[in-house]
Amino acid sequence: MRHSVLLAGLLAATTACGSSDDDEGTASGGAPPSTGGQVSTETGGGPSGGISPTGGAMTGGGMTGGTTGATATGGSGLGGSTPTGGAMTGGAATGGAPTGGATTGGAEVTGGAPVGGATPTGGTGGAEAGTGGLSVETGGAAAGETGTGGQTGGAAGSSGGSVGSCVGDVVPTADPTKAGPFQVAADKNVGPLAGVVPDPIYGDEQQRFNVYRPANLADSGYCHPILIWANGYTDNPEQNPPLCVVDSGANKWCGQYKPMMEHLASHGFVVVASLSTATGDTSVPFPTIVGLDWILEEAEDPSSPYYHRLDTANIGQLGHSYGGMSTCMSASEPRYKALATICGTREPTGVHTPMLFFCGGRDTTVSCDGVRSTFLTVTDQPAFFINELNSDHGSWVYQGPGGVSLSMAAAWFRVHLMGDTENRKYFYGPNCTFCTDSRVQVEQNSLMAQ
């Protein structure tokens, strides 16, 4: 399988679909059918960018340097130029049965490769590039049938964040280019039902959530920030057989984000990831917000494993493709403190947090021009645009902790949710780490260039 593993084909000019067995070379995580009624132009390819549901043209022109109030850094003109440096490492998942992992004491323990580890083979169940340590997976009983509505505001706190009851230390600084210090556990199929039905992959079976977290959450001594993850269209945080699988022979690409989930959890975040494969459908409450409501309730429930272990004042969201679009559409959520989008945007409104925009220089589904044009709309909050020159719509996920996307996400949320000032160097100032990284071209708005 080639490196465009998360790419979704566009089947029509104004309606775009995820993967299909009849579409050679496509993969999931891409642009879904337009849901209608969305009046603003969506940028970056399909409803996760580039094609407006109302037939409008994609906004944003060529990426040829900075504009007023923005500083462009890197080599030749941003986007479209010949990529230099940053060859991709790590292969593509090849499907088949997961490898590794014995069942002990009712919890499935999967062997993760150390930092910079083996190319993932046998799908997401095997040794994934650089996930580090062990991953303990627990199948939780489904909790709660309610929660599909949702509160829109948090308790008092800066930027609208909830004030929780966790008492603990701040997670110490760590190198975002390596697996973090925490062993990772996964609580699977937990929480309320959420997301549109029928689901593109699961049909009439509405989905719950996976939670990726430090395995020692109960006694870590830390208050762990929360991250909400939004899948690309027809994709999942990991394989969920029999319907959600990675099988290159059948052109199925569902369940590819596990390297990102585990990397973030290894750095101390509690990642709430919906199993819905249409996270940006506006006909129902976003499953991301349903999941946020639920995890905050769990944080105050004495019977919950998350009770008083979460830093509910520091919450962020990130997503890929269609999930990047839904992240932009949730930008005004008052409980968020930081956002990031990967290969998918829509012009956000009500932005009140720092915002990170990632695109792949070789992405033919979501153009870097569209992602950059959305980045340029964020002027009153810190915003950072990063074009990984040699990446396409999905190869970013298989590069391990030292790859641009995983290290970028860990560093971004460490800075803005953990107060990890040591990692500010990756984004802030004229000589930031990514500013001088030959794998990427970046642009800072005026609030980050100092």
Give the other-Cβ count within 10 Å of 25's Cβ: 11
The two three-digit tokens of residue 270, written as one number:
């509690």
* 414, containing H or E segment: helix 404-418
Structure tokens at 53: 């549901």
- CATH (one of 1.20.1250.20, 3.40.50.1820, 1.10.10.10, 3.40.190.10) for 113-445: 3.40.50.1820
The full set of domain ranges for the chain reads 113-445
Structure tokens at 155: 């308790």
Q: 51 Cβ partners below 8 Å, 6+ apart?
A: 10, 13, 14, 16, 31, 34, 42, 45, 58
Cα–Cα dist 78/248, whole Å: 32
How many degrees, rounded to 5, is the angle at CA 91 between CA 244 and CA 74? Answer: 110
Q: Do 47 and 31 form a contact (C-beta atoms < 8 A)?
A: yes
Residue 175: predicted pLDDT: 98
3-state secondary structure of 359: strand
Per the CB < 8 A criterion, the answer to whether 388 and 83 are in contact is no
Output the pLDDT for position 93: 36
Cα angle: 7, vertex 192, 253; to 5 degrees: 15
* pLDDT at residue 449, as a whole number: 82
What pLDDT is stored for residue 95 in this prediction? Answer: 34
Q: Are 316 and 218 in contact (CB under 8 A)?
A: no
Q: How far apart are CA 331 and CA 119, in angstroms?
A: 35
Confidence at residue 149, expressed as pLDDT on a 0 to 100 scale? 35
Summarised one tens digit per residue, pLDDT across range 167-181 is 999 899 999 999 999
Q: How many CB atoms within 10 Å of residue 8?
A: 33
Find out whether the peptide bond into 198 is cis, omega within 30 degrees of 0.
yes
Q: How many CB atoms within 10 Å of residue 446?
A: 15
Give bridge partners of residue 135 from the DSSP assignment.
110, 184
Q: CA 353 to CA 335: how far, in whole Å? A: 10
The whole-number pLDDT of residue 228 equals 98
DSSP 5-23: TT-----SSS------TTS
Residues in the chain, how many?
450
219 bridge partner residues: none
User: pLDDT above 70 covers what percent of the chain?
Assistant: 64
Identify which of 281, 272, 278, 289 has the alpha carbon closest to the alpha carbon of residue 235: 278
The low-confidence residues of the chain, meaning pLDDT below 50, are 1-30, 33-135, 140-161
Q: Residue 137 has what pLDDT? A: 56
Q: Could you give the CA distance from residue 324 to residue 41 in angstroms, rounded to a whole number?
A: 15
Query: Helix (H, G, I), strand (E, B), or coil: what is residue 96?
Result: coil
Query: What CA–CA distance (Å, rounded) separates 102 from 110?
Result: 7
